[in-house]
Each structure stands twice: as C-alpha cells, then as structure tokens.
Structure 1
Amino acid sequence: MKKMISYRILMLISLLLAGISAHTEPYVGVKDIAARRFPWLAKALVLELIPAVDGNEVFELSTSKGKVRIAASSASAAAEGLNWYVKYYCHRSMSHFGDQLTALSKLPELKNKARITSPYRYRYALNYCTISYSMSFYTWKDWERELDWMALNGVNLMLAPVGMEGVWQGSLRRLGFNEKEIADFIAGPAFGAWWLMGNLEGWGGPVSQGLIDQQVLLQQNILKRMKQLGIEPVMHGFYGMVPSTLKNKHSVKVIDQGLWAGGFKRPDFLLPEDPYFAKAADIYYSEMKKLYGEDLHFFGGDPFHEGGTSKGADLGASAKHIQQMMQQNFPDATWVLQGWQQNPADALLAGLDKDKTLVIELFGENTNNWEKRHGYENTPFVWSNVSNFGEKNGIYGKLQRFSDEVYRAKNGTYGSFLKGIGIIPEGIYNNPVTYDLMLELGWHQDHVALKDWIGGYTKYRYGKENSKVYKAWALLLETAYSSPKVNQEGPSESIFCARPGMDISTVSTWGTRKKNYDVAKFEDAVRMFALAGKEFEGVETYQTDLIDFVRQVQANKADVVYAAMMEAIKKKDIGSFKSSSNKFRQMILQQDSLLSTNKYFSVNRWLKQANAFGGSPADKVNALWNAKAQIIFWGPDDHPKTELHDYAHKEWSGVLGTIYLSRWDQFIDWQLALMRSENRPEPDYFKMETEWAKRPDLHPVKPMKKKELDALIQRMIQ
C-alpha cells in the first residue's frame, strides 16, 4: 500500500513538474524551427507566453545578456516573432527561391523592446492549384520545410487537402463502388487539385494502394506538425461532388456538370435535397475522422466551380444543407469558399450561417469583388492575390496594390468583414518578394509604402545593404513589380514557351505576352543588380534572383526577334527569316544554358521529385508522366486543341532545350518549305508533346564554370 501511495505521489510530482516546464517554455514547435533553420540562434532563444490584445495575436522582441526573448500570444505569433528578429535584426531569410541563413558570430541586440500586433484574425495560405503545381511530389522533408516557412511567415490558416484519396476510397467502398470504379475516379498526383475542385475525374491515374497509404501517412504528419505550429488546416469538405457513375448504381438526383476546360468530364453534383446526400456526407466525414481525427474546424469545397451548372438546384437551400452536414459531423465547422469569378453566388451565400463562413477573395491584384459584392453580402472574407498561374516563370507582382487594397478594405465600408489576408498562388516557386510582402501585411496596422519597405527586404534577402542592389530594386518597383491598372492573369509569358504559330498573343489560353512596363528600364535595373555580383558570390538568394532577372531580359528581347521572324514570313524574305530564326533558336539555347546552372530553373528538380514518388515502379513511371504532361499539354490526351496546352509551361532548362526548341525547329523548317512553295503540312505539335511526356528522361543540370556563367550573363544583358 505504501509503495502504491509513493508511486502516486511521484507521478503527481512528475506531472506538476511537466506542467511547470510546459508553462515556462511554451511553443516547443517554434523552438524546433529555430533548431532546424537557425541553429546559431536556437540556444539563445527564450520563448514566453503573453495574452492576446483584444483577441488579436501579438509578439514582443527583446534581448538581454546574450538571450533573445520572444513573448507571444500564440505559436503562430511566436514563429512570426522569430522570423521578424531573423529578418530585421539578423538580416537573414529563407524562401522558396533560396536561403540566406549563414551563421552570425554575435547575435544583434535590440535597444528597445519591439511589440507587434496583428490586426487580422487569419493569415491564410494556398490555393488548391498550389498543391498540384508546386507540391505534387512533396515528401515529408519537403513538407517540413514548407510548414516551417509558413509558420515563420505568420500563417495560421492553411489549405491542407493532401491524402484525400484515402478518404474518398473509404467512402466509395462503403457506397458500393468496386476497386476499378474507385481507381477511375481518383486523379493522378499532379492533377488532384482539379479533381477536388470538381473539374475532372480520374485524369492522371490510376494511383496504387501503396501511394494512397503513403499520402494518408504524409497528411497525418502534416496535421500533427500544423497543430504544433498553431496553423489550422482547411480540409476538403463534402459539397456534393460525386462520381459521374453514381447515377448508374443508385437512383439519385444529380446535376450533370458537363465538361470542364479542355474537354474533361466533370463529376456530378448530388442534390442535397436527395436523402442519399446525407448518407454520403456522413460516410465521407466518418472516413475523414477515421484517418485524420475530430479536431478539425475548417472545410473547403466549392459547388459549381469554374462553369459548373446549378440549373435545377435551390442554391440557398443546397448551401444550407451542405453547411449543416459539415457542422453535424464537426461541430462549429467553418465553410471556406473561394471568391473566384462569380463564385460563391449571392443566392448560395444567402443560405449560409455567415458566422461560420469564410470567403477567400482570390484575385485581389486585379479585382475588388469584396467591394462590388458588398463584402460578399456581409460575409467574413480574406483579401488575397493569385499573382501566379500554372507556376509560369515571369517577374511579376503588383506590390503596391497589395498594400493599398488591403489598407483600403480594412478602413472601408466593409472593413468589419475583412478577417485576414492571404497568398493564393497557383504555383509558389517564383517571385519571393510577393509572398514576403503579402504575409507581412498581416502584421501591419498602417499603410505600407513599398519604397520604404523594400530597403529592409533587400537587406534581409541578400544579407547586407548594397547601394547598387537598392537602386536596382527601386527600378524593379517602377517596372515589372509596378501596379498598372490592367487586368492580367499572372506574369507576361515568354514566346520561347509557345506552341509555334503566327502573331502569337498568348502562350496559354488566358495569359498575355504584353509587357505592361518599360522593358528598357527593366534592363537597366538588371544591369545595375548584376554590378553587385562580386559582393554576393556564394549568396544563394542573390544568385537565384540574378538568374531570374537575366532570364526575363532574354525573354523580353526574344519578343523583338520573334516579331522580325513574323515580318520576314509575311514578306516572304527567306534571307531575313533565316537570320532572325537562327538568332531566335540560339537565344533559346542560351536561355537553356543559363537556367541549367540553378536548380530552381531546371526541370530536373521537378522530375527527380516525381521519379522518387510512390513505392512501386508503376507509381514512379506514372508520376513522371504526370509531371511532364502537366507542363506541356496538360490534357486530355485525345484533344490536340485542348485549351490547357502550355497552361503550366515552364521556362526551365531541360524543357527549353528539348521540346520547346524542337517545336520551333519544326516550325522554322515548315515556314522555309512554304517560302520555297513546297507543299508541306503544319507540324503535329501535339504529337511531339505527348511523345515528350512519355519519355523517361530527367534532363539533368549542366554544370558551368563561374567564368563561363559570368560571360554568358554579360552577353545576355548587353
């Protein structure tokens, strides 16, 4: 008996000590980030808990006796505080386009305590498309880094639809589908985004059981880490999307959603008024709980996304029932909707509990739907921007507009409904300045002027002040990063990446080749930036940006050469066409050589990820095909004129020097034949594209000596 009492006393003491330890050192997940990313800082870090300010998250920074103290009201605020110290005092940073994290011999001291409060409840991240264009083949190591970056940038609400294959598999099995029918519904690894958004079914599959299990385990790790870092996941909810074959198995009321862009058959919409809807929703959410637990509070999913038909549905009643089923299975669940094009419709919003609804305004860099639609009919919303479509290359970002519109929305008529800011890129491996600025706006009470902010950015991006770099960035803000009042879907596109033709205005269906800035002034900016090269040798962030800026200069110059080619064709001037077309193809080869020197601009990085994805040889073959098909023709493969060809084109080495160059070579030979009055059909570009996607080549990078690279850059920016 005495032994039992002693044991209980010891257990009580250990629990009390554990509680004291947890209280004195909160935010262990944030401390772990420091150990992974800033080991030179981690041992000096002291984390403390302080209360929020009127419900708003806050952090404080101070230093004393070699210690760096971060006091914060949440894990998210603590991570943002850590990043704030690293950026603005240590002048270090991490990004999707390189890190500048060299160790400091002495940690900087603060003269006065800094205190920052966020005016927003939410700082949101990710688009469904980001998951497929950037993260299709992520491993846990990739996700661990991604979540560290998200936390450091203050994100506390993030779309997290990884591993939904397992939820759907379990649900469809219980609804009477066999394994073949399930496989025909689930999309491949590079096309999951559009499957979940109800745009297609099965494309890019089938996926193996091993791959489904792998993704479930990955999502479980992601959710566990997100909880440690104070990031709420937005899971994928049941909004009525069902396989188009369900109506063949059961007597149900569905609305055929027709075809999506490029000719894809959409899944059907199951009317919520049908009793089968409640059954399917309950099964879906029970499978969600089985795999991912019950501690989930946000669910995405948009009926009638991008052209789906709602004819025959009572939108208000349907929305109400969809939301009720979420909340019946997950009490107090919030439905997160995409504010894109005409979605969500006013009639749909009218049926919702607005206190449990959040609209993500996607296209803020071009539209002000939050204002035109009266704060989405008085619904809480998040202001965000897409900025990049298909993860296309291109220097672009309406930076000042980000700041102006957020401030205007916050202080305008519908300011009480503005609950946060966010980043919604279709692809995130580009333009790191856009993501840094947008997420930092979540911690600014006042209007931010870019000319004041950019100095701090360049200092922490490259590690130190430099007058040439600062002057270059001042010009970049006046050119590629300016905010013209034009509607533009992402960066201006490179003619190198276009399927060849006459007088091409867009590379992808909804893009533009027009440069809405002074290209000569942009070249001046790049030359000025390059002059600082000797001072930043070995600095990854500087070298990556330099390659990107020079790439843009070359792409801009190609417009002039392409115009000369078109003029020569119209005049039937063979000599001029040979000269201009030879120069054009040499420029492609130059661009390929330049980009092969940096992993962020090489298709090899993307293809290696795909080649390592999944456990079986069949998984790897299919993943590699997914990766290539997404870049070049997207799909479907029986539709040569698909609207989606080149939508996700990449101005990367390994693509430029192969399929893009091959297409242009075929075009040039064809045009020369026509000038000689030879009867020859236009090349079959679609056949070339599908064959390229089937090849197993990984297109490895080509090392180049520094002197050779420096000489190449100088030639390209002369």
Structure 2
Amino acid sequence: MPPALFNIWIIFIQACLLLPAAYALDTKELDAAREVIIRTVPELKHSSGTLKLEPIPRQNGCDVFETESSGGTLTIRGSSGVALCRGFYDYLKTNNLGMVSWENKSIRWPERLPDTARRKVVSPVRHHYYLNAVTYGYTAPYWTWDRWEREIDWMALHGINLPLALAATEAIGTRVWRQLGLTRQEIDAFHVGPAHLPWQRMGNIVNHDGALSDAWHEDQVALQHKILRRMKSLGMQPVCPAFAGFVPAGLKRIYPDAKLLKLGWGGWPEKNAAHLLSPSDPLFRAIGSMYMKEWQKEFGKNTYHLADSFNEMELPVSAENAAAGNEMLGNLGEQVYRSISSVNPDAVWVMQGWMFGYQRNIWNADSLQALLRKVPDDKVLLLDLAADYNRHFWRNGMNWEVFKGFFNKPWVYSVVPNMGGKSAMTGPLEFYANGHLEALNSPLRGRLAGLGMAPEGVENNDVLYELITDAGWKGTRTDLTEWLDHYCTARYGACPPSMKQAWDLFRRTAYSELRDHPRFNWQLRPGARNCTMNTSEDFLKGLSLFVHTPGLEQSPFFRQDAIEMSVHYLGIRMFQASRAALEALDEQDYPRATQSMAYFRKLALSADALLEVHPAWRLERWIAFARRHGSTEAEKDRYEENARRLVTVWGPPVDDYSARLWSGLIRDYYLPRWEHFINCRMQGKAPDMAAWEKGWVRSRGVSPATAPQDIVQACREAVRQAGPLPPALAASRPGTVIGNWTPEDVSPAWKELFWPVSAEDLRRLHGVRFIYTSGRHALDISRVEIMGDGKVLATDAHAGRAGLPSSRVVYHLSVPDGSRANNGCVIRARVKSADGPDSHGKVELLLQN
C-alpha cells in the first residue's frame, strides 16, 4: 500500500475509534430513556430483543431521532434521552398504536410489530421549552413525586428538554433569610400559601394565605432532588430559580439603609405589596450570590436559572423619566446576571417575556435593550412567552420584530395555550400548527434558539399540547386536516365520518380563535351575564356529533373526551338558563326565574355527575393533593383552604380567574352560589356573596356523588336531554347586558356599584347604558368608569337619570388603545336612588362591531 494511502487509512481508523466518544450517550441516559418507554408500554419489559436504543450525534447542535422496525424489533436512535423518548412516541403515534396524556393513556401494542421503513426527524431548534412560572400555582403546587414522575415521562415523550423546575425556591430563600438574621415572624410575613407561590416569586404579592412550615421546606427540597435527578438523567436542562430582587420588609430592621422599592400589582391591598431591593444597593448582588451558593450547595451546578423582576408591574420610577427608568433597568440586568455568574460563571439567566407584549407602554426597544445591555450575549435566554397573544389578541406585532431580533440575545419562541388552568375548548389550531414557521423564517429571527409553550395550567385541552409539541419538531408546514385525522386515529383507534364532521365544526368555531379568558357566566360571581366561551350553534352541533360517534366506546380517550364535550354542551345550556333567570328577575317574574333555575340545576348536576368519571377534572383529587402535604390536621386544613381559594375567588382581587369544569366544584360551589344569589333576590334580600364565598373556601371536603355506570351512554343521554331553552324561559335581550341593580343594591345615599366586563368586550367597549325596568324610584348616576387590573382606564362624569322618563343614561368611555385587564375588568358607577330604594334596572355595554 502506498505510504500516502496508508496514512489516510490510519487517519480514517483513528476517526472511527474516536467517533463514538464524540456523541455516545451516557449509559445512564440510555437506561433512563428505556425506563420511560417501559413505563409507557409495560409489555416491553419482558420482551427481550424487541426494543433497541442506539446513540447518534446531534445535527448542528439540535436533537435528532431515527426509528425503524424489522423482524419484530423496534430500533430507535437518538442524540439524547429526550430524543430517544420522542422517537418512541413519534413511532407510537405515526403507526396509530396509541397516545399518552397526563392522567390517561391508550396503548394498542401488537403481539408482533410490523416492519416499517426508517424515519428520521431533526429538530429545527436546540431547545424545546415547557411550563410557565404560574403552572406551579394553577396545576402543580401540591404535586408529589408520583405525579411528577408521570409529568417528566410526558415531557420526555413530547420532546421537552428545557423545562422549568422551581420546587424548593422558598426553602433556599428561607435559609438565606435566616443567615441574614431575619426572624420567623418576618419570614412568615413574606411568604404566601403554596398555591400562590408563583406570584410571590415574581414580586406580585406577599403575605397572603398562610406561612410555610419547616416540614413544607424539607418536603420540597427532597422533591426537587428527585425532579432534577430524573430530568438530568434524560438529558434535559432544567431551568431553576435565582434571586430576582424581592426581599422581606423585615430586612430593613437589619439593614436600615437598604434601598427598598415598594411595588404594587392589580389593585391588591398595601399589606400584600412586595419590596424590591434596589439594584443600586450592594446588598442586591450580595443576597443574590448567597442564594446561588445555597442553591448550588444543595442541588449542585446547573446551567439555566430563572429570575423575573417586573411581571405585570409598573417600573418603580417616574413614567415621565425614561432615562432614569432605563438606568435602573440596566443596573437590574447587570446585578441579576452578576449575582448568578459570581457563583457559577457558566450559568445563563433566563427571563420570561410575558410583559414584552402585555405592557408595550413600558417595554419597548429602548427599555429592553437597557435591561440587557450589561449582560453578555451568551449569558441570557429570553422566553418570548406569548406569540399567540401577539398575533390573535393584542395584535401588536411579533416581539422578535418589535425588539429587533432581541438584540443578538438567544431567545425561545413560545405560546400560552392556557390561562389559569381553565378547562375551556379554545385555541387557533392553524396558528399552533404553523405559527412558529414565521419566526423560523423571519429575517429578524436573530438567535432563535428554541420553540415551546408556557401554559398557565395543564391537564386540559389535550389537542393543543399534542399539536404544539408535534409542530415544534418540524420546520415545515403541517397540514392540519391530515394531522387531525392522524390525531384521532392514534387517540381513539379510528376517525369515523361523524368525528371528522365534528372537527370541521370545531375548526370553524372554538378552535378558530383565541379566547383570552374563556369562562361561562355561571363560573363568575352571580349576576354576571357575559359568557366568553364559544356558544355558537355550530359548536353545539359539533359537540353532539362527537359524543354520538359510534364504535369507539372502549377507547379510554374517547370516554374522557366525550365527558369534556358533553360538559361543554351542558355548560352552554346552563349559560342560557342562568341568563334567562336574570332576565326574569329584571322583570320581577319570579315563577320564570324559579323555572329557569330549576333547569339550570338539572343541567349542573348532570354535568357534575359525568365529571365524576373524568381522570383529572375533579375537585376531590385537587384537595387530596393539597392535604397529602400536611404534617398535622391543622396544616392539612390550611393547605386545603389555599387550594380551594386558588380555583375560586383567588385573591382578592382576581375573582374566579381559574374557572375549572370539575366535579365537586360545580355541585358544591357554582350551583349553590347561583342559587343563593337568585333566592336572596327573590326574597328581597341583599346577597352577601363575599361572605358566602369565604365560607365555602373555609369549608372542608366534597359532598358525595354517584357516578354513572356507562359513561358514554350517560354522555349521550345528557346531551339529548339538554335541548334548547324552552321558549317560555328564553332570555329576551341580547348578551350585552352585564348586570342589574335592585333595591338591595341602591339607596338614597351615593354609593359605588360594580359589574364585570370580559377582556374581549374591553377591546370593543365604547360606552355603557343604564336601562330602568321597574319600581317607584329612578336611579341617579354621576360617574361611570371602566377599571382594568385595579386602575381606571376611562371615565365619563355627568348627571344622568334612569327612570320614567330617563335622561342622559349613556356614558361614553374612550378606552386607550392597548389597554389590558388580565386580572380583572369592571364597570364602576357612582349611583343613588331618587327619593327611595324601589328601583330595578339593567346595565348594558355599547360595543363596537
């Protein structure tokens, strides 16, 4: 052999010997992926030779997997543990062998696998991001390890490699506060109940719904160890907490000269206001470094650390002084980064970018660049949290365009497919399938590093999560019709014609739009008439078609989805019945109000009974999670109260934000709350709804209920019986009426009344009309305001009278463009009755088309 050829041969042999070391996965990572797959399909545990896992290198830094089956053996090759799990799940769905959700799965594993050709998928991005800071409140605050294990399996199967991991944030913080010399009382005054911890972490609130015990901290530390160990064993890179600047007010006792900036959020009382340590104070970096050292001592080194300092809040500087604001932001960005990097030079600061679109009055190219200018490009990762809201709700341009590709900082494209853990069917499917392609192909994509989703709550609306995670592994267009056919076949085993028809109707109705906060009116404080759910006849028709699809009764997912579809159908009829009851009250037609509420009750109990069979949508399950964390009976009761509060009244003042369609919640909360309100009105009493709600939150347990035996038949019968409202009960006015006034509400003295407004109606609102309906006395009005997140957005002050005759009862409200009301929107009116309290009427919104 010629010497030159011999040398080439030697180089080739050396390269081959070195190649496996360049990309071979750790044996533990292969084993961890295999364990996920076996937990998903236990039949594989004892099937020797039917599953082979092999490592392959990443492509351009991105994960890749390959699948093929031959001779009864399935071979999966992947560049990471997550890629291997994603490859297996892709094989499962592509070959219609099943699907996996959070609390349900359907696997149809054959005795012998058919031969399939090799399929290769390369991720278009490095990161696949998942979770929202508030998911740790709306869904996961009380999860134990068994639930977390299923969640991490779900993440791996769906290709997630950059998840939030925020358990034990307060345990580490408490160690730091004690080292600084704060007392137990000062620390307790800082903390909130477990379900509200996300908002303490982001500086929105403090001192709400209880303190945290040492037992809680110990439990969370042990849990976080398990979470991080499992995530990292699969090759995930968890995003863990860092110090964002929020400190107990008691710090002033120890450091009298400390510069604390008092914040406020959404109209909360002053006692709940957080304190931000000024980034100009040397204590900021010192405490931040202490936090990182303590965290790293407990959990080891980590790459990504989250710190969010201004979520939905105004900057603590004068709005007129942009230069001072930008200087403060520059100092903050530098101090957050330095407090992290001083302990771990390899760490990356991660920041959620919800406010970039939500608060464009504050966050523009100048302010964001100011925040980031002192942070090295590779030491920050921006989560562009809500591209779906930019496009479909705010309609204010995509953030990567407004912020010029994020100034050479790596960023992640993300969507928010759920608000507050609500159970509604909603979401623009076409956008979730293909919206990310706009970012991938944009000349302003900058250093786009990942795709992902940040739901505020999970265990809902499965179709969105399957679609978003599938699309995130593609850089090409998804044919939604084809995808839905495959989705139904993988999920149920077949996609019959009636199911195709149902999905065609869904795509034209509920799944063609983004509803910001979709709730039925009966999920709000009684008296509310607005319904932000899709209630169209085509949607109702689609729900009925789905539920009556034959031949799928044995599918666990069909049974689950039939329950959800039926409850949505019943919920629309409940909306119509409750609105009819309110209309009857307006006209003092008490027999019609009674009949309407009887129909409402029948529908509510029917919906609640169906949900008793649902694998996740049950209040009893939520409460059980909370009580399992208590080490004493008193602590169990406190955690239950905290859990009950979050899914109902929330605060004050974010009432009914979370709006779940859950068994137990319907029969024990929504139904009796409305009955209490209507009965008081008919008896001429003023219902004290706040007292009623407070009593329920402090109650214990769930009332007994009987679940149907044949759930699919029960769903079909419930839909069949829940026909249109009888003509004698039907509401007589359109749905722009938002509330009413009665003698119980008004008096000859001036007072303020409030009526809720939906975020969708806020966008179209241009006025309010007061309509007198009956009684001996008129209503005088002096001022009307629209309030969002506790702030006055627009005011019309003039004297008006609703009576016989009425005069000047229309109040024009010029709402500034871009106004937001994420945490509550109301009409506030200053009124009094003229000469006596016998006055009845209604309040109607004037909306632009």
TM-score, length-scaled by structure 2: 0.76
Alignment pair present for 1:238 and 2:255? no
Contact 1:365 1:386 in 2 (8 A): yes
Separation in structure 2 between the aligned mates of residue 22 and residue 661 of structure 1, nearest angstrom: 55
Residue 455 of structure 1 pairs with residue 485 of structure 2: yes
CA contact under 8 A between 2:620 and 2:664: conserved in structure 1? Answer: yes
- Spell out, residue by residue over 1:238-275, the C-alpha distance to the aligned partner (whole angstroms, 9 max, x if none): 12111122123212112111355433623211122212
Contact 1:421 1:441 in 2 (8 A): no
The one-letter code sitting in structure 1 at the alignment partner of 2:296 is: K
Code of the aligned partner of 2:41: F
Q: Does structure 1 residue 559 correspond to structure 2 residue 575?
A: yes
SS in 2 for 1:100: strand
Instruction: Judge which range, 161-170 or 84-93, deviates more.
Output: 84-93
Is the helix fraction higher in 1 or 2?
Answer: 1
Measured in 2, the distance between the counterparts of 1:364 and 1:21 equals 36
Contact 2:440 / 2:475 at 8 angstroms: preserved in 1?
no
1:705 counterpart = 2:709: yes
**Alignment partners' CA distance in 1, 2:437 and 2:100:** 27
Count matched residues.
673
Alignment of 1:400-411 (within 5 A): 400-411=430-441
Shift in CA distance, 300/20, structure 1 to aligned 2, threshold 3 Å: closer
Q: What amino acid maps onto 1:609 in structure 2?
A: F
Structure-1 residue corresponding to 2:62: 56
2:387 aligns with one of 353, 364, 369: 364
Alpha carbons 1:97, 1:544 under 8 Å: kept: no
Distance 1:94 1:261, change over 3 A: farther
Pick from 146, 157, 163 the counterpart of residue 162 of structure 2: 157
Give per-residue Cα distances to partners, 1:544-574, cap 9 Å, x unaligned: 1111111111122233223322332333333
Aligned 1:573-588 pairs, distance under 5 A: 573-588=589-604
Structure 1 Cα separation of the partners of residues 113 and 178 of structure 2: 57
Percent of aligned positions that are identical: 30
| Contact 1:91–1:464, Cα closer than 8 Å, also in 2 | no
2:521 aligned with 1:514, yes or no?
Answer: no
Q: Say which of 79, 85, 90 aligns to 2:91.
A: 85
Matching of residues 443-522 of structure 1 within 5 Å = 443-483=473-513, 488-490=515-517, 492-501=518-527, 504-505=529-530, 513-515=531-533, 519-522=536-539
Q: Is the 8 A contact 1:301 1:337 kept in 2?
A: yes
Spell out, residue by residue over 1:564-613, the C-alpha distance to the aligned partner (whole angstroms, 9 max, x if none): 22332333333332322322233222222222232422211111111212
Find the residue that maps to 2:381 and give its secondary structure.
strand
* 1:329 counterpart residue number: 343
Distance in 2 between residues matched to 1:481 and 1:521, nearest whole Å: 12
Q: Is the 8 A contact 1:361 1:369 kept in 2?
A: yes
Residue 29 of structure 1 is aligned with which of 27, 32, 39?
A: 32
Residue range with higher mean Cα deviation, 167-176 or 446-455: 446-455
1:357–1:493 distance in 2 versus 1, CA, 3 Å: same
Q: Equivalent of 1:352, from 363, 369, 375?
A: 375
CA distance in 1 between counterparts of 2:703 and 2:372 reads 48
**1:408-445 C-alpha deviation (Å, 9 max, x unpaired):** 11111222332211111111011011111111122102
Give the whole-Å Cα distance in 1 for the aligned partners of 2:314 and 2:548.
52
Please, which of 95, 104, 113 is the counterpart of residue 98 of structure 1?
Answer: 104
Contact persistence 1:659–1:688 (CA under 8 A): no
Question: How many angstroms apart in 1 are the aligned matches of 2:101 and 2:25?
Answer: 31
2:248 is the alignment partner of 1:274: no
The whole-number CA distance in structure 1 between the counterparts of 2:714 and 2:28 is 52
Amino acid at match of 1:316: G
Classify the secondary structure of the residue corresponding to 2:388. coil
State the match for 1:9 in structure 2. none
Question: Is the CA contact 1:471–1:528 (under 8 Å) kept in the aligned structure 2?
Answer: yes
User: Does 2:653 match 1:643?
Assistant: yes
Matched letter for residue 84 of structure 2: A
Quick one: structure 1 residues 564 and 700, their matched pair in 2 at CA, closer, same or farther if it must change by over 3 Å? closer
1:75 pairs with 72, 81, 85, which one?
81
* Residue in structure 2 matched with residue 133 of structure 1 by the alignment: 138
**Kindly tell me: are residues 102 and 604 of structure 1, through their superposed partners in 2, closer, same or farther at Cα, counting changes over 3 Å?**
farther
Change (3 A) 1:152 1:482: same
Tell me the SS of whatever aligns to 2:387.
coil
- Equivalent pair of 1:604/1:699 in contact (CA under 8 Å): no
Note closer, same or farther for the CA distance 1:276–1:416 as it changes in structure 2 (3 Å cut): closer
Residue 542 (structure 2) aligns with:
525
Change (3 A) 1:181 1:571: same
The reply on whether 1:288 has 2:295 as its aligned counterpart is yes
The reply to whether residue 423 of structure 1 matches residue 453 of structure 2 is: yes
Instruction: Tell which has more relative contact order, 1 or 2 (C-alpha 8 A, sep 6+).
Output: 1
SS of equivalent to 1:30: helix
Deviation at 1:69, TM superposition (A): 0.6
Q: Which amino acid aligns with 1:191?
A: H
**Residue 303 of structure 1: how far off its partner (Å):** 1.3
* Structure-2 residue corresponding to 1:256: 262
- 1:717 Cα deviation after fit: 6.4
Correspondence for 2:607? 591
Equivalent in the alignment of 1:374: 404
Gaps of 5+ in 2: 1-20, 318-323, 391-397, 725-849
Q: Please identify runs of 4+ aligned residues in structure 1 that moved more than 4 A.
A: 18-26, 707-710
Structure 1 counterpart of 2:178, one-letter code: R
Q: Which amino acid aligns with 1:118?
A: S
> What's the Cα RMSD here?
2.4
How far 1:25 sits from its partner (Å)?
Answer: 8.8
| 1:462–1:183 distance in 2 versus 1, CA, 3 Å | same
How has the CA–CA distance of structure 1 residues 610 and 247 changed in structure 2, closer, same or farther, with 3 Å as cutoff? same
For the residue of structure 2 that corresponds to 1:691, the secondary structure is helix
- Secondary structure of the 2:342 match is helix
- The answer for the alignment partner of 2:173 in structure 1 is 168
2:676 matches 1:666: yes
Asked if the contact 1:151/1:229 (under 8 Å) is kept, the reply is: yes
**1:380 Cα shift?**
2.3
The alpha-carbon distance between structure 1 residues 261 and 300, as it changes in their structure 2 partners (threshold 3 A), is farther
- 2:464: which partner in 1? 434
| 2:570/2:719 contact within 8 Å kept | no
- Identify which of 196, 205, 214 aligns with 2:210: 205
Deviates more, 1:244-253 or 1:133-142: 244-253
**Is the 2:526–2:674 contact (alpha carbons within 8 Å) kept by the matching residues of 1?**
yes
Structure 1 match to 2:697: 693
Higher mean C-alpha displacement, 651-660 vs 571-580: 571-580
SS state at 2:413 partner? strand
Q: Return 545-554 or 141-150, whichever deviates more.
A: 545-554
Structure 1 gap segments, 5+ residues each: 1-17, 506-512, 636-641, 675-679
> Which letter does structure 1 place at the counterpart of 2:187?
I
**1:255 and 1:441, CA in 2 relative to 1: closer, same or farther beyond 3 A?**
same
Deviation at 1:21, TM superposition (A): 11
- TM-score relative to the length of structure 1: 0.89
Q: Distance in 1 between matches of 2:705 and 2:399?
A: 44
Q: Are the counterparts in 2 of residues 611 and 623 from structure 1 also a CA contact under 8 Å?
A: yes
Aligned mates of 1:124, 1:23 — CA distance in 2 = 23
The residue type equivalent to 1:613 in the other structure is H
The 2-side partners of 1:192 and 1:307 are apart by: 17
The offset of 1:160, in angstroms, is 0.6
